[in-house]
A and B are shown apart, each in its own frame.
Chain A
Amino acid sequence: AQSVTQPDIHITVSEGASLELRCNYSYGATPYLFWYVQSPGQGLQLLLKYFSGDTLVQGIKGFEAEFKRSQSSFNLRKPSVHWSDAAEYFCAVGVGNEKLTFGTGTRLTIIP
C-alpha cells in the first residue's frame, strides 16, 4: 500500500522568507500527488497536483512543487511567504482511482 511521510511537524518562517515543506512517498509506480492547505477551523483546499508530465507544477497562492522520482519526493515551495500562509499543509498520494492517503501534516507559523 502507498504511504506518505511529512517529516516536519511544525515549521516557523519569517514573513518574506522562502519556504520548503517536505513530502516523501512510498510506492512502486508513479503515484499522483497533491498538496492541500487547511486554515484554522476550516476544511482542506487544493493547492496543486501532479499526475504526469512536467515535474514542476504551479499552484494557487504562489506555491509550486517539484516531483523527484529518484528521491520519491514532492516538496512544496514558495519564494516569499505572507502572514496569510500560516496554516497546516497536507501532502497526499493516490494510486488507482479510489482513495488518497494523506500525510500527517506540517503546521506553518509565520513570524513578522
Chain B
Amino acid sequence: TAGITQAPTSQILAAGRSMTLRCTQDMRHNAMYWYRQDLGLGLRLIHYSNTAGTTGKGEVPDGYSVSRANTDDFPLTLASAVPSQTSVYFCASSASGARGEQFFGPGTRLTVL
C-alpha cells in the first residue's frame, strides 16, 4: 500500500512564483493535514481538512491555500512564494481526525530563492 505520496520530492522556486505541492492518500482517510518543519520549530500546522469539501486554518496559514475536492487529494498552493517559505512540507492523513494516528508522507523540500 502506497499510503501517502507527495510530489515533488524537492523543488527550487524563484520568489514571486506560484507552486502547488501535491498530496495523495489511498487509505480513504477523512482527515488530512499540511505541516511545515523548520529547524528548532518542530512541525507547525498550515491547513487541515476534516472531510472532503471542508478546510480549516492551522497555526501558520498565511501565504498558503488548500482545497479538498475529494477524499484522496489535498494540494497545498503557494500563490507568490517568499524566501521564508523555504521549508520541508509534510502531508498527513488520519482516519479519526486529530484523535487518531496520523500517517505522514515522505515530505517535499522547498527552497525559495
**Chain A interface (Cβ within 8 Å of chain B)?**
6, 9, 32, 36, 42-46, 49, 51, 90, 94, 96-105
Contacts and interface: CB of A to CB of B under 8 A. Distances in A.
Interface of B: 4, 33, 35, 40-45, 48, 50, 56, 58-59, 90, 92, 96-99, 101-102, 104-107
A102 B48 contact: no
A26 to B, nearest CB: 15
Given A51-B99, A94-B99, A43 B104 contact: yes
A99 B101 contact: no
Contacts, number: 58
21 contacts: A9-B40, A32-B99, A36-B102, A43-B92, A43-B107, A44-B43, A44-B92, A46-B101, A51-B99, A90-B42, A96-B98, A98-B48, A98-B50, A98-B98, A99-B48, A100-B98, A102-B42, A102-B43, A104-B40, A104-B42, A105-B42
B102 A103 contact: no
Nearest to A103: B42
Contacts of B106: 42-43
B64 to A, nearest CB: 15
- With most chain B CB atoms within 10 A of its CB, the pick from A36, A49, A102, A103 is A102
Q: Which 10 residue pairs spanning A and B have beta carbons closest together?
A: A43-B104, A104-B42, A97-B97, A102-B43, A94-B98, A46-B101, A44-B104, A102-B42, A105-B42, A100-B98
Contacts of B33: 99
